[in-house]
A and B are shown apart, each in its own frame.
Chain A
Amino acid sequence: MADQRLLYFFSAKQPRRPAVIRQILINKRTVSNLFWGLNYQLLSWLAVAPKLEAAYFNQQIELLLQTKALQQTTAGLVLTAAGSQQWQLYQTSDLHYWRQAPQLVQHYQVGAWQAMLALLIQVFSEMSYHNVHYYVNVTDPQLQYWLKRWLQHNPRQQLQAQFVRTLTEFLTTQESPAANIFLNMYSGHQIAGRTLLQLQQQTGWTVAELNCLRTDLSLQLAEKLLREGPAWQALIGLFRKNSLLSASTAITYQAFLNQYPLAKIAQKRQLKLSTIQEHLLEAAIFATDFPYLKILPTKIQQQLITLFRGQTIPAEWNYQVAQQQEISFFYFRLFQIQQLKLRQGRLSIANHN
């Protein structure tokens, strides 16, 4: 049977290109991919499956086409009624786990945070039994050192109580099989966690789904702990990044916000002007308050509005129309992004309309 999880990424109304979807999932951050990801409203899924192989993905798409869950159109693939029904069945079944907070993956060093969480649970568990002799379940010296310092500089009893309370509250808000499975993965005082293979046998969920559950819940728990005060912000801050921009883009964007002209930024950073423009397009895609007016001349904006008046789907605009008016691709794409985001915000289109 085909991998039905992939159905989620398609829409009945909007034709989508599978290649773009895979690039988003494996975090291939070209401006073109990001633009289409924005258009598909799938940017929250960036980097969620970095190891998704092209061969596997294409084979699954092929299978979904054969079974008529997806259908080919000239502009891409659309979800059929049958596909939509399959997805509904998959999603509502107790036998599957579906990620609730994909957007958090981009914000965290996932592996390191998971190791820290395992360490936290163990250390607080042993602490509650006043036991100091135990094998630590995480070997990274850096993580051990961070935790040690953190516990030295903060009231540990209070942190422990906060942790247990937050964890308990968090699990209460989850569906019960997921909450049970999640906690069974962890080790503590006289308690051994379970491996994914063991859990697979006991629950019938696949290892991939269990893995997904583990990252999804541990990241959501991190977000909840973040709200427990400065000590937690300090600890979790070690694993969390606020900006989604790549480092180089962030520098360009900051310089741009500081009123430097693009040519000057390019010169100072020894980069091509076209690269600087790509950085700004990336920034426009991610930033919620991108100052479009600062870079897009009013005259050109007016021209573009006139050119595409009545064409309600910005992603379908044809650049050649703008090119004939000698408008650069940069301005055209920037305007497209702005209009796309405006419409998405205003109409709040759900993923599966």
Chain B
Amino acid sequence: MLTTTELTRGLKHYFGYDKFKPGQIETLTALARQQSTVAVLPTGTGKSLCYQLYGLLTKQLVLVVSPLISLMQDQVKELKFIGEHQAAALTSMLSGRDKSFVLRHLNEYHFIFISPEMALQPDIMQRFKALKLGLLVIDEAHCISQWGPDFRPDYLQLGKLRQALGQPLTLALTATATPQIKKDICQLLFTAAQPQLVQQSIDRPNIFLAVESTANSSEKNAVLLRLVQQLKTPGLIYFTSRKATEKFARLLTEKTGLSAAAYHADLNQQERFAVQQQFMLGNLDVVCATSAFGMGINQKDVRYVIHYHLPTDLESYLQEIGRAGRDGQQSIAILLYSPEDFERQRQLSFASLPALAELKNYQAATRQQRQILTENELTYQLIDFYAHQGLNIKQQQEMFAQRHQQKASQLRTLQTYLTLTTCRRKFLCQYFGETTEHLKHTAACCQPVGQTFDLRDLNLQCEHVERKASVVLPSYQQLLKKLFADQSNQL
């Protein structure tokens, strides 16, 4: 069994750290005891390090089920970066050629990342059954809960997957979990023996929480422009659409001279890497991103996260602001909103929920028609999924009505957070079922409605203005010199 000393030595050897972050060592010692674990660790506390280190030290195969392709690719990159080359991501994005390459070499890998829908394919499941699994990881485990913000129907099948694989040692990871979600994870994933629960507070004391209410979107734009010019960089601004990320990346560069980039799921690999690299090298002041997309390589010194559009709910909000201040330094999360945002968010939230008419449509459709419907629309995919689970229309109708109420209540909670006249931090902790007696609201904690905050007091005001956006592109001759060292000697 791995001892704490071995774990700490491994941490230094592979990652260069001397100390574990809260929650990591508890998770790792539980795994070392062969105890399946549910770990609730806030974003930014190095969730993935737990299974990375476990796999590196035990030299056993680690299978990681993850919902987001970009997350998987980032994980593979990080592992390769620290010298673990036997890592691959099995996703629908892989070409047939790449997929069969990975499948042919399965037993040579130490880490395999896979999407749930692929893990559940019978032929692939069969292949994993034949391998000796050291650890099964369910990343973003909250996707299993219908009450969670990112519910994914195929996550419901992961309990079956786990059984099919012979109930291997399992680690379920999530950053945010209300009491209800925790219950779902434990019940749906673990049938017999219940897992150990490792939990850290969701609170990130170094992130100041603020909300700016504006009368309309033009006022909101003005507030955004003012903020980005005052705040220390780098920063991250979240939008709900690709179009908005591009519009504001352009606008910010033009109006403020800040160096900005748009980051969204439609960028190709080369461009995505370019933005990550620009951010890492400190060439960027601000990234305008969509929330649907992971930020990739961990940037530790993000000073602010601004939401230009409302987040889906508090769970996602917490995830997204968690990208700020991973270095532990003072940072700030600012949520901007104007009254019309609520209607927009309401529409986005309910758009994917089937209405009675759609349920009836599905019921009346022939098999072929159903195929067409499910090919094109998320709503029908959802209905189709539950139909295959054996739920009839009436049962579905009840379930979706429940979901609707759930979403409406999440929106109300969000609205409450926005209009809070008391401590925002306390509210968040309470919402996630944590005790709040130890929390003391101060001027450095958060800004309830009606109060102001001073960036200088928070040490977040940028003192001297240094603009990074360069107007002139370097010439190819200059670039060649920088790209390739000692070029003259080689020629």
Q: Which residues of A contact B (CB under 8 A)?
A: 114-115, 118, 121, 124-125, 128-129, 133-142, 145, 157, 160-161, 164-165, 167-168, 171, 176, 179-199, 201-203
Shortest distance from the beta carbon of B115 to any chain A beta carbon, whole Å: 14
Could you show 13 A-B contacts with beta carbons less than 8 Å apart?
A135-B78, A142-B95, A164-B484, A164-B490, A168-B480, A176-B475, A183-B476, A189-B482, A191-B479, A192-B280, A193-B271, A195-B271, A199-B473
Shortest distance from the beta carbon of B11 to any chain A beta carbon, whole Å: 18
- Asked whether, in the complex, the Cβ of B261 is within 8 Å of the Cβ of A195, the reply is yes
Contact of A141 among B98, B250, B275, B276 (CB under 8 A): B98
B interface: dominant SS: helix
- Asked whether, in the complex, the Cβ of A138 is within 8 Å of the Cβ of B269, the reply is yes
- Asked whether, in the complex, the Cβ of A114 is within 8 Å of the Cβ of B77, the reply is no
B273 part of interface (Cβ distance < 8 Å): yes
Q: Given A165-B491, A180-B475, verify A192-B81 contact (CB < 8 Å).
A: no
B347 part of interface (Cβ distance < 8 Å): no
- Asked whether, in the complex, the Cβ of A185 is within 8 Å of the Cβ of B479, the reply is no
B375 part of interface (Cβ distance < 8 Å): no
- Asked whether, in the complex, the Cβ of A198 is within 8 Å of the Cβ of B76, the reply is no
The digit string for B272-283, where 1 denotes a CB below 8 A from any CB of A, is: 011111101101
Cα A42 to Cα B334 in complex, Å, equals 55
The digit string for B1-31, where 1 denotes a CB below 8 A from any CB of A, is: 0000000000000000000000000000000
B102 part of interface (Cβ distance < 8 Å): yes
- Asked whether, in the complex, the Cβ of A137 is within 8 Å of the Cβ of B270, the reply is yes
Within 8 A of A (CB), among B445-491: 471-476, 479-480, 482-487, 490-491
Interfacial chain A residues near B281, Cβ < 8 Å: 190-192
Write the chain A residue with the least CB distance to B250: A201
Cα A186 to Cα B273 in complex, Å, equals 10
- Asked whether, in the complex, the Cβ of A188 is within 8 Å of the Cβ of B483, the reply is yes
A interface: dominant SS: helix
Write the chain B residue with the least CB distance to A132: B83
Write the chain B residue with the least CB distance to A184: B473
Cα A145 to Cα B491 in complex, Å, equals 28
Within 8 A of A (CB), among B94-131: 94-95, 97-98, 101-102
Interfacial chain A residues near B253, Cβ < 8 Å: 201
- Asked whether, in the complex, the Cβ of B476 is within 8 Å of the Cβ of A179, the reply is yes
Contact of A192 among B250, B283, B473, B490 (CB under 8 A): B283
Q: Given A140-B98, A192-B277, verify A164-B487 contact (CB < 8 Å).
A: yes
Interfacial chain A residues near B261, Cβ < 8 Å: 195, 197-198
Shortest distance from the beta carbon of A120 to any chain B beta carbon, whole Å: 11
Cα A188 to Cα B73 in complex, Å, equals 19
Interfacial chain A residues near B471, Cβ < 8 Å: 202
Interfacial chain B residues near A145, Cβ < 8 Å: 101
Cα A321 to Cα B472 in complex, Å, equals 64
Shortest distance from the beta carbon of B297 to any chain A beta carbon, whole Å: 6
- Asked whether, in the complex, the Cβ of B269 is within 8 Å of the Cβ of A139, the reply is yes
Interfacial chain B residues near A114, Cβ < 8 Å: 270
A135-B80, A192-B274, A197-B249 given; name 14 further pairs at CB < 8 Å. A118-B270, A133-B81, A135-B77, A139-B73, A139-B269, A141-B88, A160-B484, A168-B480, A171-B480, A180-B473, A185-B270, A189-B483, A193-B273, A201-B254
B89 part of interface (Cβ distance < 8 Å): yes
Cα A164 to Cα B479 in complex, Å, equals 12
Cα A142 to Cα B297 in complex, Å, equals 22
B246 part of interface (Cβ distance < 8 Å): yes
Interfacial chain B residues near A140, Cβ < 8 Å: 94-95, 98
Cα A190 to Cα B280 in complex, Å, equals 9
- Asked whether, in the complex, the Cβ of B491 is within 8 Å of the Cβ of A128, the reply is no
- Asked whether, in the complex, the Cβ of A191 is within 8 Å of the Cβ of B483, the reply is yes
Cα A185 to Cα B474 in complex, Å, equals 11
Interfacial chain A residues near B486, Cβ < 8 Å: 128
Shortest distance from the beta carbon of B373 to any chain A beta carbon, whole Å: 24
Within 8 A of A (CB), among B211-253: 246, 249-250, 253
Shortest distance from the beta carbon of A280 to any chain B beta carbon, whole Å: 30
Write the chain B residue with the least CB distance to A118: B270
B265 part of interface (Cβ distance < 8 Å): no
Shortest distance from the beta carbon of A137 to any chain B beta carbon, whole Å: 4
Interfacial chain A residues near B491, Cβ < 8 Å: 161, 164-165
Q: Given A160-B490, A195-B275, verify A128-B484 contact (CB < 8 Å).
A: yes
- Asked whether, in the complex, the Cβ of B250 is within 8 Å of the Cβ of A183, the reply is no
- Asked whether, in the complex, the Cβ of A197 is within 8 Å of the Cβ of B274, the reply is no
Shortest distance from the beta carbon of A190 to any chain B beta carbon, whole Å: 6
- Asked whether, in the complex, the Cβ of B267 is within 8 Å of the Cβ of A195, the reply is yes
- Asked whether, in the complex, the Cβ of A195 is within 8 Å of the Cβ of B274, the reply is yes
B262 part of interface (Cβ distance < 8 Å): yes
Q: Given A128-B484, A187-B277, A189-B483, verify A141-B101 contact (CB < 8 Å).
A: yes
Shortest distance from the beta carbon of A238 to any chain B beta carbon, whole Å: 11
Shortest distance from the beta carbon of A212 to any chain B beta carbon, whole Å: 14
- Asked whether, in the complex, the Cβ of B485 is within 8 Å of the Cβ of A129, the reply is yes
Interfacial chain A residues near B276, Cβ < 8 Å: 135
Cα A142 to Cα B277 in complex, Å, equals 23
Contact of A195 among B73, B254, B262 (CB under 8 A): B262
Contact of B297 among A124, A135, A183, A184 (CB under 8 A): A135
Q: Given A129-B485, A141-B102, A198-B261, verify A183-B480 contact (CB < 8 Å).
A: yes
Cα A145 to Cα B275 in complex, Å, equals 25
Shortest distance from the beta carbon of B43 to any chain A beta carbon, whole Å: 20
Interfacial chain A residues near B101, Cβ < 8 Å: 141-142, 145
Write the chain A residue with the least CB distance to B98: A142
Q: Which of A125, A139, A190, A195 has the most CB of B within 10 A?
A: A139
Cα A124 to Cα B88 in complex, Å, equals 23
Contact of A193 among B78, B102, B274, B482 (CB under 8 A): B274
Interfacial chain B residues near A203, Cβ < 8 Å: 473
Write the chain A residue with the least CB distance to B472: A202
- Asked whether, in the complex, the Cβ of B273 is within 8 Å of the Cβ of A167, the reply is no
Cα A203 to Cα B474 in complex, Å, equals 12
Cα A192 to Cα B95 in complex, Å, equals 27
